[in-house]
Amino acid sequence: MLQEPMMEKLLAMRLHGMADALKAQQQDPAAGELSFLDRLAILVDHQWNWRQNQALARRLHSAKLRGNACVEDVDYRAARGLDKSVIRALAQESAWVRNHEHVFILGPTGVGKSFLASALAQKACRDGYSALYTGTAALFRDLAIARADGSLRLLLAKLSRIDVLVIDDWAMAPLTETERRDFWEICEDRYQTRSMILTSQLPVVRWHEQIGDPTVADGILDRVVHNAHRIEMKGDSMRKKRGGGA
C-alpha cells in the first residue's frame, strides 16, 4: 500500500514525475518482479522526463510563437520553393542556433513565412533553447515605451539573453533614427552569441535602403548577413487557399 506521507513528501519536493510513476508501479503487478534498482531507475526516468516537459512548456509559453507551428507540419506540397532538405538540416538539433547563425525567410505575403519562422523557433525550444517571437512594429513600440519609462537597458539586456529572437515583417517600412540605433544595438549584443530569424517581404538587397543611414546599415548587415541561411519562398497566398497554416 502506498504510504500517504511518502507521496506528500514527493509532491512537497516537486517530484511529481516520480510520484506519478510510483502510483503506476503500485497498480502494475509486473512491477513487483523488478529489482529495486530497476524500479528506482523507472522513477528517476519519469521524474527527468517530467522536468524536461515542464521546462519545455515554460520556454514555449515565453516564446509567444504564432499558433501551434512545428517543423513536422510544414507543407511541401504547395509550390512555394521550399527545400525539404534545407528545412530538415536546420531542424536537426537546431545546430544553427548552437553556431549562432541567423535565418532569413523571404517572400510575398501569405506564403507561410511566419509559420515557418515559428516552426523553426519551436524546434529550437524543443532542443533546449529559449525563443521570443515579435513583430517589427511591436518590437520598436516596446523599445520606445521602455525608453520613455527608463527601462530600456533592462529590455535590451533581456533580449540579448534570448537564444532565438524571431522578428516578423522586418524592413516593411523605413527605420527612424531611433529605430536604427536600437536595432543596431540588438544586433551588436547578439553578434556571434545569439541567433535571429527575420521574415520579410523585401529581398535582402533592399534592407540597406530601408535601414536608411548608410553607416548604420553597413554595421547592421555586416553582423547578420554573412552567417545567415536564406529561405526564399514564392507562390500564392496560403491564406487564400485554405485559411492559414504552412
* pLDDT band, very low/low/confident/very high, at 85 (cuts 50, 70, 90): very high
Per-residue pLDDT of 195-211, as tens digits, reads 999 999 999 999 999 99
Cell of 127: 532542443
In the block, residue with C-alpha cell 518590437:
139
More confident call, 240 vs 237: 237
User: Is the pLDDT assigned to residue 2 strictly greater than 60?
Assistant: no
Quote the strand ranges of the chain, DSSP E: 102-106, 131-135, 164-168, 195-200, 228-232
Single-letter amino acid, residue 53:
N
Q: Is 197 exposed, middle or buried (0-12, 13-18, 19+ CB in 10 A)?
A: buried
Residue 65: its pLDDT value, please? 95
Cell of 138: 511591436
Residue 232: its pLDDT value, please? 95
DSSP 147-188: HHHT-HHHHHHHHHT-SEEEEESTTSSPPPHHHHHHHHHHHH
* Best CATH choice for the domain 64-242 from the list 3.30.70.2190, 3.40.50.300, 3.40.50.11540, 3.20.20.70: 3.40.50.300
* pLDDT band, very low/low/confident/very high, at 1 (cuts 50, 70, 90): very low
More confident call, 180 vs 16: 180
Mean pLDDT of the chain: 90
Report domain extents, the chain.
4-61, 64-242
pTM: 0.83
